[in-house]
Amino acid sequence: MARFFPELLATLRMLARPIARWSGRWARRIVLAAGGLALLLVLGACTRIPYDLHRWLGRGAGECTATADAIVVLGGSGMPSGPELLRLHRAASLALETPRALVFVVQPDTGSTMRQMVEELKLRGIAAHRIIPIPYGENTREQALIMARVQDPRWRRVALVTAPENMYRSVRAFQQAGVKRSCGESAWERAMDHDFAYRHLAIGGKAWAPDVSDNTGLRYTFWNYLKLEVTCIREYLAIAYYWLNRWI
Q: Residue 100: name the closest of 136, 59, 71, 120 by CA.
A: 71
Higher pLDDT, 211 or 60: 60
Higher pLDDT, 190 or 165: 165
**pLDDT at 119 (0 to 100):** 95
Find the mean pLDDT for residues 226-245. Answer: 95
pLDDT higher than threshold 80 for residue 41: yes
User: DSSP assignment of the chain, as one string?
Assistant: -TTHHHHHHHHHHHHHHHHHHHHHHHHHHHHHHHHHHHHHHHHHTTSSHHHHHHHHHHHTT-B--S--SEEEEE--S-SS-HHHHHHHHHHHHHHHHSTT-EEEEE-S-SSHHHHHHHHHHHHTT--GGGEEEE---SSHHHHHHHHHHH--TT-S-EEEE--HHHHHHHHHHHHHHT-TTEEE--------S------TGGGT--TTS---TT-HIIIIIHHHHHHHHHHHHHHHHHHHHHHHTT--
Find the mean pLDDT for residues 193-222. Answer: 78
pLDDT higher than threshold 80 for residue 228: yes
- The CATH number of the structural domain formed by 61-184 is 3.40.50.620
Confidence category of residue 12, pLDDT binned at 50, 70, 90? low
- Rounded Cα distance between 164 and 181, Å, is 19
Confidence category of residue 4, pLDDT binned at 50, 70, 90? low
pLDDT digits (tens, 9 = 90+) for 189-199: 887 777 778 78
Confidence category of residue 173, pLDDT binned at 50, 70, 90? very high
Helix 164-177 with 49-59: angle, nearest 10 deg: 30
CB 76 within 8 A of CB 107: yes
